[in-house]
Amino acid sequence: MPRSTGIPAHIAIIMDGNGRWAQKRGLSRSEGHCAGTRTAKDIVTRCRELGVRHLTLYTFSRENWSRPKDEIGLIFDLLVQYLRGELQNLVEQDIHLAVLGEMADLPFAARQALSLVMQKTADCRTMTLNLALNYSGREEILRAARALAAKNLPPEAITETAFADELYTKGQPDPDLIIRTSGELRLSNYLLFQAAYAEFYFTDTLWPDFDAAELERALADYAGRQRRFGRTGEQLPA
Ligand code: IPE
Ligand code: IPE
Ligand code: MG
């Protein structure tokens, strides 16, 4: 039976469960986010070593603005620390940083740190690290629709390709594998257009506990899948 080929070109992760991880240990949610940031750092390096070309991390959804102000502040402080601490590593690992989401609404320090890292890694080609920040899949689709409308194109020119070119992921392949930690079985407004034919992997592991061994389990599971894209099993190459 044909199997999906090896390492996914694009992995997208919904890093969920920081709060519950902390709660289980009698720690504050902040400590959960700190631990989650350490996991993110390790998983970026591991994906790069494994030859993943695009990694997307759901870092902050547009809906996450409804969380307590202190928690939001802490999440962006951690982001800034991560970016400052990792700049050199990202450059050395040849990892290009990109943002999916509306950057203008982010705190100033976060915008500044992101702009610097994006600028310094602009020529890096081995892997693209997308941080979904202030991200909403529906908003991304509406934004693309508005951009196309503003071009006054004839209706037949609005193709899937033309549409995809107006998304934050322009020029990048769709995710092959979407991983969600913490046992939740939902997309939470993540990559709605791009997820059309993604394979899903759900694990009860909370994000701070998601390590290289867990990643390998997800990849082994993915490698055993049959991706059909609408065809019958018999139509697929052996
Ligand atoms: C994911 O962990 C991090 C963000 C959404 C920013 P959560 O903070 O959602 O953790 P739980 O779901 O409350 O356990
Ligand atoms: C999704 O997690 C967003 C991120 C991981 C950044 P949430 O914890 O916000 O998702 P819901 O609210 O449980 O769906
Ligand atoms: Mg959550």
- Residue 41 is assigned to a structural domain of this protein: yes
| Domain presence at residue 212 | yes
| Residue 150 domain flag | no
Q: Do the domain assignments include residue 157?
A: no
pLDDT at residue number 236: 87
Residue 21 lies in a domain: yes
Protein residue whose Cα sits closest to atom 13 of ligand 1: 19
* 64 tagged catalytic: yes
Best substitution site from 13, 16, 207 to test ligand 1's pocket, by max atoms within 8 Å of Cβ? 16
What CATH number is associated with residue 209? 3.40.1180.10
- What confidence tens digit (pLDDT) does each residue in 198-216 have? 999 999 999 999 999 999 9
Give the contacts of 108 (CB within 8 A, at least 6 positions apart): none
- The whole-number pLDDT of residue 237 equals 82
Q: What is the pLDDT of residue 233?
A: 87
Distance 112 CA to ligand 2 centre (A): 25
Angle, CA of 37, 40 and 44, to the nearest 5°: 145
Tell me which residues of the chain have a pLDDT lower than 50.
1
Q: Are 11 and 195 in contact (CB under 8 A)?
A: no
Between helices 212-223 and 29-50, what is the axis angle to 10°?
50
Q: Is the CB of 14 under 6 A from ligand 2?
A: yes
Range of the domain at 62: 10-136+175-223
Kindly report the pTM of this predicted structure: 0.97
